[in-house]
């Protein structure tokens, strides 16, 4: 039975939550492998509408085991609140498990995320200020505290004391902020530890055992390839490997176990926060898309920057991740437009480019080269078969496939599960 991964191909918010909730029906396990509550995955299903930040979007099926892998960073307050809300709304969480190796977001991470952003001034990244970057910095800097550490109270206290001593020196001496109290954090996190204990497991072993039983595992990507720490628009990126490589280290899975990798493409482009976005629009079309699609961040409420589909970006994503297919979301959002542009290449200093330059300053200077297609100007949100799509919409989809060099398996025409056209089944 296969392991299948679903990865964001653009700058996040491609509609991964909808796709995971749709595909999860046919799997046994869904695992998150990277990021934290910077993610906001919207799921609309018979239970209602949910913004999932840490709990995998497969939680709505009784038969699905959900794993938050070691590569995820966890703000315990957010996770416990999310679990609580799910339970209140009738969603069972008894098959949710959290890696005991996952790093914890501590109060100083959240504080430092804000202070570092302020210090960057005009060069701010536009982070979600959830403490993600500082937490991963501590993980790599070997200053992190992990979920499992909370269960060993004596050693946790000693560890927290030494880390906090260092963090307080940074807070007070570099940022002239108030120091944090060891006792307060210790008590609070010990309580979190008690509440999290029933969920904590060696989740890599659970994944391994699921595969030994011949079960199907779905890997739920967070953020998007252009936010990847290595291949994204550095430094305007998140602090993790958002691409397929992150899935292996983030759940403890050998790359040879992953059978198929699918990208999620939004039918146009959006981005939250700073950094280059060659196809960004500043005209009425941007406003039209933003309002029609309600393009405001699921996590922070910030308006998302909107622009035309950038096939340079998706072709790059398809190659670096090895997509065998894609899910195209939000095609219905383009319903009202008389014509639609696709970016097919860039021009930089008179030279034509077919892949994004690695340097963000150069990417910011790239002029997008467009191809213009006719719009379909009809409501497609009720259509369920490829043949029923207006010819202009089919041409648009076909052109995206050609330019991206990646077949489209699923076309999403609305936020709900049933608003889906299956071109070629994934499962």
Positions that interact with ligand GDP (CB under 6 A): 8, 12-18, 40-42, 44, 298, 329-330, 332-333, 412-415
- The answer to whether 8 contacts ligand IMO (rule: CB under 6 A) is yes
User: Among residue numbers 236 through 295, which ones bind ligand IMO (CB under 6 A)?
Assistant: 238-239, 272-273
Convert residues 326-345 into a mask of x (bound to ligand IMO by CB under 6 A) and - (unbound).
--------------------
- We find the least distance from the C-beta atom of residue 15 to Mg ion, in angstroms, to be 8
Using the rule CB under 5 A, is 14 a contact of Mg ion? Answer: no
Give the β-pairing of 217-220 and 3-8: parallel
Q: Tell me the two tokens of residue 98.
A: 């959290």
Q: Which of 34, 171, 196, 195 is nearest to 109 (CA)?
A: 171
The least CB distance from residue 412 to ligand GDP, in Å, is 3
* CA trace torsion 367, 368, 374, 375 (10° rounding): -100
How far are the Cα atoms of 111, 345, 375 from residue 107, in angstroms, in the given order? Answer: 6, 44, 49
Closest CA to 333 of 285, 394, 277: 285
> Which range touches ligand IMO (CB under 6 A), out of 23-31, 189-197, 223-231, 352-360?
223-231
Binding to ligand IMO by CB under 6 A, coded x per residue (else -) over 104-133, reads ---------------------xxxx-x-xx
| Cα–Cα distance measured from residue 362 to residue 359, given in angstroms and rounded to the nearest whole number | 5
Question: How many residues are present in the chain?
Answer: 427
| 13 is an active site residue | yes
Taking CB within 5 to 8 Å according to partner kind, which of Mg ion, ligand IMO, ligand GDP, none is near residue 336? none
Is 228 one of the catalytic residues? no
Asked if residue 310 binds Mg ion (CB under 5 A), the reply is no
Q: At what angle do helices 153-169 and 182-196 cross, to 10 degrees?
A: 140
Q: Which stretch binds ligand IMO (CB under 6 A): 9-17, 79-87, 278-286, 375-383?
A: 9-17
Least spacing, CB of residue 36 vs ligand IMO, in Å: 8
DSSP code for 180: P
Q: Is the peptide bond before 235 cis (omega within 30 degrees of 0)?
A: yes
**Which two three-digit tokens encode residue 427?**
């499962």
Interaction between residue 40 and Mg ion (CB under 5 A) = yes
Q: State the catalytic residues.
A: 13, 41
Binding residues (CB under 5 A) for Mg ion: these are 13, 40, 298
């Amino acid at each position: 039975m296969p392991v299948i991964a679903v990865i964001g191909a653009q700058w996040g918010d491609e509609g991964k939550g909808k796709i995971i909730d749709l595909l999860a029906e046919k799997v046994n396990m869904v695992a998150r492998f990277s990021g934290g509550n910077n993610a906001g995955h919207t799921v609309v299903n018979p239970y209602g509408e949910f913004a999932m930040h840490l709990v995998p979007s497969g939680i709505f099926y009784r038969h699905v085991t959900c794993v938050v892998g070691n590569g995820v960073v966890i703000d315990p307050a957010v996770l416990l609140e999310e679990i609580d809300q799910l339970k209140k709304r009738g969603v069972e969480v008894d098959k949710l498990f959290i890696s005991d190796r996952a790093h914890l977001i501590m109060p100083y991470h959240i504080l430092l995320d804000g202070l570092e952003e302020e210090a960057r001034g005009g060069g701010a990244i536009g982070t979600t200020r959830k403490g993600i970057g500082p937490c991963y910095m501590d993980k790599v800097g070997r200053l992190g505290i992990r979920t499992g550490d909370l269960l060993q109270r004596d050693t946790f206290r000693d560890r927290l004391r030494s880390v906090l001593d260092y963090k307080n020196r940074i807070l007070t001496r570099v940022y002239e902020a108030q120091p944090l109290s060891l006792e307060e954090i210790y008590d609070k996190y010990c309580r979190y530890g008690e509440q999290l204990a029933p969920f904590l497991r060696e989740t890599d072993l659970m994944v391994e055992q699921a595969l030994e039983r011949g079960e199907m595992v779905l890997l739920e990507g967070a953020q998007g390839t252009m936010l990847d720490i290595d291949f994204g628009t550095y430094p305007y990126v998140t602090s993790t490997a958002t691409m397929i490589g992150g899935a292996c280290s983030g759940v403890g899975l050998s790359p040879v176990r992953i059978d198929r990798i699918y990208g999620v493409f939004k039918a146009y482009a959006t981005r939250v926060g700073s950094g280059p976005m060659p196809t960004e629009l500043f005209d009425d079309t941007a406003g039209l898309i933003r309002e029609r699609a309600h393009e405001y961040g699921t996590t922070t409420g910030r308006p998302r920057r909107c622009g035309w589909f950038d096939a340079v970006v998706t072709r790059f994503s398809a190659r670096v991740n090895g997509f065998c297919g894609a899910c195209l979301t939000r095609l219905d959002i383009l319903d009202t437009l008389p014509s639609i542009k696709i970016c097919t290449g860039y021009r930089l200093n008179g030279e034509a480019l077919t892949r994004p330059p690695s340097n963000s300053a150069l990417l910011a200077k790239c002029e997008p080269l467009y191809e213009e297609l006719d719009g379909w100007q009809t409501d497609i949100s009720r259509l369920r078969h490829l043949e029923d799509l207006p010819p202009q919409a089919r041409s648009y989809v076909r052109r995206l496939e050609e330019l991206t060099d990646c077949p489209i398996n699923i076309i999403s025409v609305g936020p709900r599960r049933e608003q889906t056209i299956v071109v070629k089944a994934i499962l």
